[in-house]
Chain A
Amino acid sequence: MVYMDGHDRTASIADEARIEDYFALLKPRVMSLVVFTAFVGLIVAPQAIHPVLGFVAILCIAIGAGASGALNMWYDSDIDAVMSRTINRPIPSGRVPREEAFAFGMTLSAFSVITLGLATNWVAAGLLAFTIFFYAVVYTVWLKRSTPQNIVIGGAAGAFPPMIGWAAVTGTVSIDALILFMIIFLWTPPHFWALALYKKGDYEAAGIPMLPNVAGERVTQNQIVVYTVLLCATAFGPVLTGLAGMVYGLAAAVLGAGFAILAVRLRMAEGVEMKRRARVLFTYSLGYLFVLFVALLADSGLAFWLGAAQ
């Protein structure tokens, strides 16, 4: 609307954006899992870090992860607009312009990497930069729309945070850090394929080649079982290397058994019951990863306490 003084005072899209919309661009729910797993990697590392620098490291990893989420929303705004799960995101709903989301993501990426490098070390900063690149470019731009194996390879982006936390403390990457990476890496396919099974229609409408749409439900169910077995076996890795003890070992056994039972039950189901079981497995998988890492943390705390008591 043009007023008599000649100024156009019509609110543009950018003027409608609330602070909460920019926060939503950071995918806070994904960020919470990233923060938690990075924190565990930082705590279980075999050295100590100054608490302030530890806090800064976690903050940088969280913001870096959020930045890659913003870049993902920038690129995927067209498909977000056709999926019920994502239609209310800031860009498809018209509250934040695409170019602002891109600028926001790039700025936060640069700041988080540089700050992490200055506060801790450049190995951790390099890993964070690679994680952002992997999620925003390799997964979002390249894999997501071209292959049903998108989340298998793309899952690596979500698996890096504990390794970055570890590197922030030690300045290096060890076999233990690699095992933590592998646990999340192998957890990602059954987690997302369970979601893809009961949200199949959404992905179909958006044209994303998720495994159930491309290879069928039966193949997906089989793959979920395979990855679940690999995950449950890898989850014992920290016990074998001595990173964790009995508390974690017991948790890995019980949680893994639950995961395997649900995966096999999903394999045996069809139709509506299959979708229900896929939803159950999806929810369980979230709790699985959280409790497994809590057990790792508890074991580390217990070892520290026992060591201090002697």
Chain B
Amino acid sequence: MNMKDEKAMISHDIARKRQRRRSIAIGLSLAALVLLFYVITVVKLGPAVLVRAI
């Protein structure tokens, strides 16, 4: 492997690490969004969540 290939390899490793970090960030954002909508629903419904016509 010559110098150029070695550099490309290192660059590829860095890119993969960054891509992994981005994927984790997207996953966490989606999880946060789910949690946010869950909390909003609970807060908006309030105690009325238990009051239902039978």
Contacts and interface: CB of A to CB of B under 8 A. Distances in A.
A119 B44 CA distance: 8
A17 B43 contact: no
B21 A50 contact: no
Given A15-B16, A119-B44, 16 more contacts: A9-B12, A10-B12, A11-B14, A15-B19, A16-B14, A17-B22, A19-B22, A22-B25, A52-B39, A53-B43, A53-B44, A56-B39, A56-B40, A59-B36, A115-B37, A118-B40
Interface of B: 5, 8, 11-12, 14-16, 18-19, 21-22, 25, 33, 36-37, 39-40, 43-44
Contact of B18 (A1, A16, A118): A16
A11 B40 contact: no
A17 B18 contact: yes
Nearest to A95: B18
A22 B5 CA distance: 29
Interface of A: 1, 9-12, 15-19, 22, 50, 52-53, 56, 59, 111, 115, 118-119
B39 A10 contact: no
A71 B16 CA distance: 27
A17 B18 CA distance: 7
Given A1-B5, A56-B40, A18 B21 contact: yes
Contacts of B33: 111
A52 B39 CA distance: 8
A15 B25 CA distance: 14
A59 B32 CA distance: 12
Contacts of A12: 15
B39 A9 contact: no
A52 B43 contact: yes
The 4 closest A-B pairs by CB, nearest first: A15-B15, A11-B15, A1-B8, A52-B43
B8 A15 contact: no
A10 B44 CA distance: 49
Contact of A19 (B5, B15, B21, B36): B21
